[in-house]
Amino acid sequence: MTKIIWMTDPHYQSAGDIAGLNPRVRLATAIDHMNTHHGDAALAVISGDLVGDDIGNDYAGLSTYLARSNVSIHALVGNNDDRAGFRAHLPLPEDAMPDFVQYVLTVAGARLICLDTHKPGSHAGEFCATRQDWLKQMLLQQPDLPTYIFMHHPPMALGLPKQDEIRLENGDAFLDLISGYPNVRHLFIGHVHRPTCGTIRGIPFVTLGALSFQAPAPQPDWDWQSFKAAEEPPHYAVLSIQNGDITVQFTQYCTYAHGMEAAPQA
């Protein structure tokens, strides 16, 4: 059995709060929880929105928090990220794509393909022809090995009206591409700060609550101007891969109130 830890959307910032909580406390607690209970994981993936405002400084600060992990952490970029800041402070595999934060991780019995859906200056995402060509090449390399794709932006609407407005812009092209490769077994998606799961064109997908604040359910209706985070605790996911199958365990690592008290600045 191969264990993978999946976290998303820590929205790290070196000072201050976001949506009424201290993202440094939430991130540190998640990593400590993983070290205590899942130190045997093969690796961990964080599927984007690594930082918040003040991006230049925040990647340096973020890297010091990630360094407390006993499990090797691999990160993706989301809409709030910056490729140059990421590259200056966070590691990437040697064979990662040169111009985008895209790379492949190999574990026992599976490949994990980490995609870059960042579109500079936009909260929506994009997946351009260059990134698509790279993905095609990777999917052709080991057609018999179960392949799991990690990405920040959903390539389809999820029934979350506000998040759906800022999904992957050319999601149909992405879905057309992966539909031709039966080795794609599951999509793991960040961005929406809320757990959902289902299938798209027959491929299972799952989204995950954020390490930071949680988005409300679509009803009662809400808008960004009056946004108030859902009063739900954060979680990460434990993925278990065995004999070509995978299970996803959602794991609450602290209470809703944790990190919402007046916590000291980092």
Q: Cβ distance 184 to 147 under 8 Å? A: yes
Residue nearest to Fe ion (CB): 49
CB of 120 vs Fe ion, minimal distance in Å: 16
Stretch that binds Fe ion, among 34-42, 49-57, 66-74, 114-122 (CB under 5 A): 49-57
User: In the complex with Fe ion, which residue's Cβ is closer, 53 or 133?
Assistant: 53
Among 17, 49, 81, 126, indicate the residue that binds Fe ion (CB under 5 A).
49
Question: Residue 76 or 110: which CB sits closer to Fe ion?
Answer: 76
Nearer to Fe ion, 181 or 232 (CB): 232
Q: Are 234 and 214 in contact (CB under 8 A)?
A: yes
- Which residues have C-beta within 8 Å of that of residue 180, sequence separation ≥ 6? none
Task: Fill in the per-residue mask, 9 to 48: x = in contact with Fe ion (CB under 5 A), - = not in contact.
Answer: x---------------------------------------
Three-class SS of 89-144? HCCCCCCCCCCCCCEEEEECCEEEEECCCCCCCCCCECCCHHHHHHHHHHHHHCCC
Nearer to Fe ion, 9 or 58 (CB): 9
Sole window of 7-15, 31-39, 56-64, 256-264 interacting with Fe ion (rule: CB under 5 A) = 7-15
CA distance 111 to 161: 32
For Fe ion, how many residues bind (rule: CB under 5 A)?
A: 2
Per-residue b/e over 166-186, b at no fewer than 16 CB within 10 Å?
bbbbbbeebbebbeebebbbb
Write out the two tokens for 7.
């976290």
Shortest Cβ distance from residue 155 to Fe ion (Å)? 17
| Shortest separation between residue 94's beta carbon and Fe ion, angstroms | 28
CB 207 within 8 Å of CB 196:
yes
Q: Which is nearer to Fe ion, 74 or 152 (CB)?
A: 152
Closer to Fe ion by Cβ: residue 42 or 114: 114
Q: How far is the CB of 8 from Fe ion (least distance, A)?
A: 8
Q: CB 49 → Fe ion: shortest distance, Å? A: 3
Could you say which DSSP state residue 57 is in? H
Give the nearest distance from C-beta 183 to Fe ion in angstroms.
Answer: 29
CA 246 to chain centre: 18
Least spacing, CB of residue 242 vs Fe ion, in Å: 31
- The CA distance from 71 to 39, in Å, is 6
Compute the least distance from the CB of residue 244 to Fe ion, in Å: 31
The verdict on 81 binding Fe ion (CB under 5 A) reads no
| 3 state DSSP class of 4 | strand
CB-CB contact of 65 with 28 (8 Å): yes
Give the range of 2-10, 16-24, 84-92, 100-108 binding Fe ion by CB under 5 A.
2-10
Interacting residues toward Fe ion by CB under 5 A = 9, 49
